[in-house]
Amino acid sequence: MNSHNILKSIRPFLLFILIIGCASKQLVIDHNSDIEEQPKLLFLNYMINKMDNGEKNIKLINQIITDGTLKKMTKTSDEKSLGDLECATYDKDLNQIGIHSIKNPLKKIMEYINDLGNFEKKVFDLDSAQFSIRLQLQYDVKYIKISELTTKGQKELITTELE
């Protein structure tokens, strides 16, 4: 075989090697695939005031939604007392999703050591206080309702629509 025939016979092989060598090494991304949503945290900051007539008024200071997950927390006492708050989450059709208890933010307990070196507790009744709520945000939560536990049952104080 002469050199011209050899070149003709190996041309397809060389072309194949050239195509393979110049092919892109980047990963192909399918833009149609579902992107998994990052877990979200919801932070709600409120101001609560006790009015002269004993009624309570709550105002939203701000709400923050950010990526993250709540750490697992040890469960505290399920005991509820008058003045405690309940934070309930609702979907767009006002179906309740979950409920969380909040100790009365207007009653602060301070522990200190007295003159004899013993621990003592003192309860302070405040007229106003700020409090925060942290929740693992579920995709279908649209509203947060905060209610107070009273002698007459639950009294709704505020409903917050999430942005």
3-state secondary structure 127-141: CEEEEEEEEEECCCC
Domains annotated for the chain, with CATH where assigned, are 40-71+82-161 (2.60.40)
Per-residue pLDDT tens listing for the chain (163 residues): 566 666 667 777 666 676 666 655 555 555 554 555 788 899 999 999 999 998 899 999 999 999 988 887 655 556 888 899 999 999 999 999 999 999 999 999 899 899 999 999 999 999 999 999 999 988 899 999 999 999 998 999 999 999 8
For the entire predicted model, the pTM comes to 0.70
- DSSP H or E run through 19: helix 3-22
CA distance linking residue 137 with residue 44, whole number of Å: 11
- Stated as kind and residue range, the H or E segment containing 16 is helix 3-22
